[in-house]
Amino acid sequence: MVLTPDNSIALIIDIQSKLLPFIYQNEELINNNERLISGLKLLEVPIIITEQYPKGLGTTADRLVEVLGNDYKPIEKDTFSCLGCDEVLNILRQSRRKNVIITGIEAHICVMQTVRDLIANDFNPFVVADCVSSRKLSDKKYGLKRMLREGAFPGTYESVLMEITNTSKHPKFKEISKIIK
């Protein structure tokens, strides 16, 4: 299973302003997501953004909204799993892309339940381990363990971007290299 621009779509789950200050290593989480999103946009991989109860938890973190630019079109949800939201599931199905690149918070709740449901719906979740987190390190750790046990594919933002780029001869390779450094 190889990530390509044509078979992949990204799902950024609930990285919201009012929850973010309480998230383990939140600054690193934002930095890594900024790099990943910048690279995905450059490689023309579609991006879906979700927000869990934005009235209470705020909207997507400002730095991510800025890097998303015109791609910032959040989908509000009230279920923990993104696939409990018909709009998200419909976008995924209509995209005809089986590989779903996953980032977000919280790893042990919304991210894990989304990954579980993606697998049940015949998608291939690629969990970007350095782009997910929880309030506590132990929750992140066990959320990741559960996702991998369920069948998710682990990676980092750098490995995901380089896999999609595939070769140093890719026309966007130099720009991607600048992003990951």
**Per-residue pLDDT tens over the stretch 134-148:** 999 999 999 999 999
Q: Are 91 and 71 in contact (CB under 8 A)?
A: no
pLDDT band per the 50, 70, 90 thresholds, residue 7? very high
- pLDDT at position 1 over 90: no
- In 3-state terms the chain splits into helix, strand, coil percentages (rounded to 5) of 50, 20, 30
Report how far apart the first and last C-alpha atoms of the chain are (Å, whole number): 26
**All domains of the chain in start order, with CATH:** 8-180 (3.40.50.850)
The residues facing 51 across adjacent strands are 76
| Averaged pLDDT, 145-163 | 96
- Residues contacting residue 131 through CB under 8 Å, at least 6 positions apart: 29, 32, 33, 36, 103, 104, 156, 157
pLDDT band per the 50, 70, 90 thresholds, residue 158? very high
DSSP 152: P
> Strands across the sheet with 75-77, in order?
75-77, 47-52, 8-13, 99-105, 124-133, 153-155
pLDDT band per the 50, 70, 90 thresholds, residue 181? confident
**Per-residue pLDDT tens over the stretch 164-178:** 999 999 999 999 999
**pTM of the model as a whole:** 0.95
In whole angstroms, give the CA distance from residue 46 to residue 4.
Answer: 12
Position 78 scores a pLDDT of 93
| Averaged pLDDT, 39-60 | 95
- pLDDT at position 51 over 90: yes
Position 156 scores a pLDDT of 97
